[in-house]
Amino acid sequence: MQLPQFPGTNIEILLYENVSNVDAIRSRVVELPYAFIDASAICSVEQIMSAIYRVMIEANYNRLRTKTLHSEILLALSPTSNIGEAFKRFGLKENTKNLFMIQITQDKTSNVDKTLVKGDIIEFKDESIERMSDIETIKKIYKIDQSLHLKNNTQLSRAVVDAIQLRGL
């Protein structure tokens, strides 16, 4: 898919469930031309998409703080500008079961290697994502006060999007 403002950039997002080869992917994460994100830290489509949008704004109108657009997505998801922390929170962990594999390229055609991750591809939509998210962890990552009134996922997601759009500014 493309973002309307950046028609020359192609974005591929795959959501995997029950992944069995996380270890193998983790050991090669640096060399692989994708962003891998632990799905438990994600609560909505707009969380992922607003981070990608932020990456595109930084890439086009400011500067990147990491080496690639892919690592920049992990930073963009984070509420702080500490890159190590961002990788720890949003990157793959030993016990990661579900994950996002994201590719940003400047070509029109996608060339995502669908054999890389061993798991079930499921539709990239809120209902699937919500099944995988760990709400308590997300609230902790974004320092969203437990006592806060954010009753449902829509509201949690809104607070998360705010944090993503404003990080480090």
Select from 37, 42, 101, 159 the one that contacts other proteins (CB under 8 A): 159
Alpha-carbon gap, residue 42 to 138, rounded angstroms: 7
d(CA 74, CA 66): 10
In this structure, how many other beta carbons lie within 10 angstroms of the beta carbon of residue 80?
15
Q: By CB under 8 A, name the one of 37, 102, 132, 163 that touches other proteins.
A: 163
Whether 59 and 6 have beta carbons less than 8 Å apart is answered as no
145: CB partners within 8 A, 6+ apart = none
Question: What binding mask, one character per residue, do residues 21-50 give for other proteins by CB under 8 A, x or -?
Answer: ------------------------xx--xx
Size, binding site for other proteins by CB under 8 A? 27
Residues that bind other proteins (CB under 8 A): 1-5, 7, 45-46, 49-50, 52-54, 57, 61-62, 125, 148-149, 158-159, 161-163, 165-166, 169
